[in-house]
Chains A and B, each alone.
Chain A
Amino acid sequence: MSSELAIRTEDLRRVFRTRKREAKKQKREVVALDGIAFEVPRGELFGVLGPNGAGKTTTIKILATLLTPTSGHAWVAGIDVATDPKAVRHHIGMVSGGETSGYGLLTVEENLWMFSQFYGMETRAARARIRELLAVVGLSDRAKTKIYHLSTGMRQKMNFVRGFLTEPEILFLDEPTLGLDVQTARTLRGFVSNWLREHPDRTILLTTHAMHEADELCERVAIIDRGRILACGAPSNLKRDLKHEDVVRLRIGGLEDVRPIVATVPSVSRFSQTAHDDCVEVDVILANDAVLTGLLAAVEAGGGTLLSLEKRAPTLEDVFLDVVGHGFEEPNGGGAS
């Protein structure tokens, strides 16, 4: 493996088998990863984007040595994660969304110091770094607070500090802003960007299902669904590839579900639907402009009323819709293909 690569996977596959007694004497298999292959050069912030259950966390767990692959290979810092996990651990760090790690009776500072000891950090250096990072994420005034008194956002800021404390070569961020308010999520995204700017030799692998987060942070993203990578590239390139098609957002009143209607219209290549109280919002990717007239006629014939129509530049969400065939909220498929 080239030393320029921080992470590389090759035909990575992970199958979970339920235990017999859990499945009432019938073993069941769930394919979480189905032949994933990607490479991340050193210094890159690489995103793995996909809905819940797509295989993002399984990928991170394998790379972070918490899980062994059923088949295939993965190397982190040039080391095989399956055969030499101990060596891999000297190069990595990990922060997960919704983490509840640490001990409630200890203060923020004490918890962070404890974790620093597992990396062999000298106490004085660890304390100085903790103070510095707490100031960066705006948590200095909570340094002496016991962590059971922290809000979710504060706790996740503490988790971020823990992850970055040891300045790992390769950092895995697994949905790190999950469940956070907009302001906290923005602070943490800013923190990640600045850290990478200050440490250009470090690599981050970020999993998320927040499209804007991937768009804002990642140099490249892999779109993953049902354990397979469906597209991989720079967000700008992926969006550019969509530009030959039209992306239209319709707001339709009078109908609760327009999917059966839209599915009958020819040349609608992909669509997704979001239900609101007063209307349904449909994002449609059209092969050409002319299809729009037919689509609107079909909606009207079906009893719907067009409330608004917006033609817009493609986003990563549209790219996802295009490659997966359905939106994030419709895991079983809501769109024509």
Chain B
Amino acid sequence: MSGRSTWTTFWRTVCGRAYPRVIGAQRERSWVFFEILLPLLQVTAYVFIYRAIQAPPEFLGFVVLGGAMSAYWLNVLWSMASQLYWEKETGNLELYIVAPTSRMAILLGMALGGMFQTTLRAVAIITIGSLLFRVPMTVTNVPVLLGVFLTTLVALYGLGMMLSSLFLLFGREAWHFSNLLQEPVSLVSGFYFPVRALGQVIAAAASALPITLGLDAMRQLLFPSMMENLRFLSADVELGILAGSAVLFLVLAHRALAHFEKLARREGRLTVRGQ
């Protein structure tokens, strides 16, 4: 295959694999209830706690933003990391492997489709939450905010692609592992409070997860006065680390995919179902 046609196949694969997620979001309307209204209940609970202790109104903004970003974390965990396990169970994985295309293109398609799907949810949570709880937001620098947001997504989905490669070897453990990660990450990443509250050591360790720094940087850009004394690192530094993480996770995902595919072929795990 020539370089041009390899590239063409790569992008067609990305579009092909993103399609079910983009279309799925339109066809399965139950997500409005499960993925907007239910997360809003959790956001509401924190809002009432902050109101009860008479926290400044910016804290409601921390919660709403955390609620929206948690949708991305859940998407990465359940629809990226453990996705290849589900694809194996449904018989799609072997067709992906047999196809003369890049596995990275398939993961990228899943990631882009997932981002689209989740962005609809995140926007809905932010809009409804902000209107409902009258969150005072001051966007100081839109391009930087957008840059932080997109870099966070690239790093986060890069992490998801890497985990997905690792999970290629997993059977049912993939499900347990995702369960195991879900709640602790929402705690240490500071979905509902500034991560600095956990102390410098835990915040530094949690920074390995892109969503931790992404949230902190976005809060700084949306609530500058309140975050002045609550920030973990400066937004510029956090953006730099996020950009580095994005590159690192994508490179690791690429290497892990090649390695674990080879291992899975050797151990016969690519097609064994019901493990």
Interface residues, chain A, CB within 8 Å of chain B? 16, 61, 64-68, 85-86, 89-90, 92-94, 96, 99-103, 105-106, 110, 113-121, 146, 162
* 19 extra interface residue pairs, beta carbon distance < 8 Å, beyond A100-B91, A103-B24: A16-B268, A61-B271, A64-B94, A65-B98, A86-B100, A92-B98, A94-B94, A94-B95, A96-B94, A99-B91, A101-B91, A101-B92, A103-B20, A106-B19, A114-B17, A115-B99, A118-B16, A118-B101, A120-B100
Q: Of B90, B99, B266, B268, which is within 8 A of A118 by CB? A: B99
The residue of chain B having its C-beta at the shortest distance from the C-beta of A123 within the complex is B12
Question: Considering the chains assembled together, what is the distance between the CA atoms of A162 and B94 in angstroms?
Answer: 14
- In the bound complex, what is the Cα–Cα distance between A313 and B12 (angstroms)? 54
Q: If the complex has contacts A65-B97, A65-B265, A86-B100, are A117 and B23 also in contact, measured as CB distance less than 8 A? A: no
Which residue of A68, A89, A96, A106 contacts B20 across the interface (Cβ within 8 Å)?
A: A106
Are A94 and B101 touching (Cβ within 8 A)?
no
Which residue of chain A has the shortest Cβ distance to B265 in the bound complex? A68
| B237-275 interface code vs A (CB 8 A; 1 in, 0 out) | 000000000000000000000000000011010110000
Query: What chain A residues lie within 8 Å of B28 (beta carbons)?
Result: 105
A302 and B212 CA atoms in complex are apart in Å by 81
- Quick check: B20 and A66 within 8 Å, CB to CB? no
| B26 CB to nearest A CB, Å | 9
Beta-carbon nearest neighbor of A14 in chain B:
B268
B176 at the interface (CB under 8 A from A): no
Contact call B23/A106, Cβ cutoff below 8 A: yes
Can you list 12 A-B pairs with a CB-CB distance of less than 8 A?
A65-B97, A86-B100, A89-B98, A89-B100, A92-B98, A103-B24, A115-B95, A117-B13, A118-B13, A120-B100, A121-B12, A146-B27
Please tell me if the beta carbons of B8 and A120 are within 8 angstroms of each other in the complex.
yes
Q: Given A94-B94, A101-B91, A105-B23: A119 and B100 within 8 A (CB)?
A: yes
B50 interface residue (CB < 8 Å to A): no
A101 to B91, CA, bound (A): 5
Q: Which residues of B have CB within 8 Å of A118? A: 9, 12-13, 16-17, 95-96, 99-101, 106
Residues 93-121 of chain B: 1 if any A CB is under 8 Å from the residue's CB, otherwise 0? 01111111100001000000000000000
Q: Which of A61, A85, A92, A105 contacts B24 (CB 8 A)?
A: A105
Contact, CB under 8 Å: A114 / B20: yes
What chain B residues lie within 8 Å of A90 (beta carbons)?
1, 100
Query: In the assembled complex, which residues on chain B have CB atoms less than 8 Å from the CB atom of A105?
Result: 20, 23-24, 27-28
Chain B residues lying within 8 Å of A120, measured Cβ to Cβ, are 5, 8-9, 12-13, 100-101
Give complex CA distance A16, B91 in Å.
20
Which of the residues B9, B27, B265 comes within 8 Å of A119, measured between beta carbons? B9
Closest B residue to A85 by beta carbon equals B265
| Chain A proximity mask over B58-100: 1 for CB below 8 Å, otherwise 0 | 0000000000000000000000000000000011101111111
Q: Is the CB of B101 within 8 A of A66?
A: no
9 nearest interchain CB pairs?
A117-B16, A120-B9, A118-B99, A89-B100, A117-B12, A103-B20, A101-B91, A90-B100, A114-B16
Say how far B206's CB is from chain A's closest CB, in angstroms. 32
A interface footprint on B1-13 (CB within 8 Å = 1, 0 otherwise): 1000100110011
Name the distance in Å between A310's Cβ and chain B's nearest Cβ: 42
Could you tell me the distance between the alpha carbons of A120 and B106 in the complex, rounded to whole angstroms?
A: 13
A16 to B266, CA, bound (A): 10
B172 to chain A, nearest CB (A): 12
Inter-chain contacts of A86 with B (CB < 8 A): 100
> CA–CA, A113 to B268, complex, Å?
29
Q: How far is the CA of A110 from the CA of B92 in the complex (A)?
A: 15
Contacts of B101 in A (CB 8 A): 118-120
Q: Which residues of B contact A68 (CB under 8 A)?
A: 265-266
Contacts of A67 in B (CB 8 A): 265, 268, 270-271
Give A110 to B26 CA distance when docked, in angstroms: 14
- A94 and B98 in contact (CB under 8 A), knowing A16-B268, A103-B20, A114-B19? yes
Scan residues 119-177 of chain B and give those whose CB is less than 8 A from a CB of chain A.
none
Q: Give complex CA distance A10, B24 in Å.
A: 46
Which residue of the partner chain B has the closest CB to A101? B91
Chain A residues with CB under 8 A of B90: 100-101
- Measured between beta carbons, the chain B residues less than 8 angstroms from A96 are 91, 94
Distance of A116 Cα from B13 Cα, bound (Å): 9
Alpha-carbon distance between A325 and B19 when the two chains are bound, in angstroms: 52
Assess whether B37 is interfacial by the CB under 8 Å rule: no
CA distance A113 to B99 in the complex (A): 14
Q: In this assembly, does B15 line the interface, its C-beta being within 8 Å of a C-beta of chain A?
A: yes
Alpha-carbon gap, A65 to B27, bound state (A): 35
Task: Report whether A66 and B91 are in contact in the complex, using a CB–CB cutoff of 8 Å.
Answer: no
Whole-angstrom CA separation of A67 from B261 in the bound complex: 10
Residue of B nearest to A86 (CB): B100
